[in-house]
A = this chain, B = another copy of it.
């Protein structure tokens, strides 16, 4: 069932499209997840990222097992979550599309910290991580990631994806 945009809908037989439509109502930060190592350099865009626990500091990332980058991330077992700032949505489109890896990484400046995963210059926040546990649910792997280095740009406005559009959210005045 496709509902009109102006009225709510309640669906008791949940199809993929219904789920995706409703999930578009759950705003999320936009992240470029990167990795480098024996599996090669790779990166993809993800909104399915959240905090798990601060003891030890751990977040999670959901990754489709059929994604082209899945093999690289499995082999490397390390990654960097680069949370995009307002104004970086072109990187989201690039890392969420079919562009080859060389071209994706050529569009921005990167450095490395502990794991060797590319850390994005100008991100709102970056989390360099080791994958501590992987759980498979349906089509996806959930990568539990222990944070070994991080950076936060306190003044950066955030980039949010909501209702299939990008939005900026301002940081507290400094």
Q: Which of A5, A22, A170 has the most CB of B within 10 A?
A: A22
Contact partner of A154 among B5, B50, B138, B139, CB < 8 A?
B5
Residues of B within 8 A of A83 (CB): 25-26
- Whether B152 lies near A3 (C-beta < 8 A) is yes
Residues of B within 8 A of A16 (CB): 54-55, 57
Instruction: Please report the total number of A residues contacting B with Cβ < 8 Å.
Output: 80
Contact partner of A14 among B28, B57, B60, B153, CB < 8 A?
B57
Q: How many copies does the complex hold?
A: 2
Residues of B within 8 A of A138 (CB): 52-53, 55-56, 58
Contact partner of A20 among B54, B149, B163, B169, CB < 8 A?
B54
Q: Which of A4, A26, A124, A170 has the most CB of B within 10 A?
A: A26
- Whether B154 lies near A3 (C-beta < 8 A) is yes
- Whether A174 lies near B27 (C-beta < 8 A) is no
Q: State in angstroms the CA–CA spacing of A133 and B50 once bound together.
A: 18
For the complex, is A142 an interface residue (Cβ under 8 Å from B)? yes
Contact with B along A134-156 (1 / 0, CB 8 A): 01011110101001111111111
For the complex, is A48 an interface residue (Cβ under 8 Å from B)? yes
Q: Which residues of A contact B (CB under 8 A)?
A: 3-12, 14-16, 18-29, 31, 47-60, 62, 64, 83, 113-114, 124-125, 127, 132-133, 135, 137-140, 142, 144, 147-156, 158-160, 162-165, 167, 169-172, 174
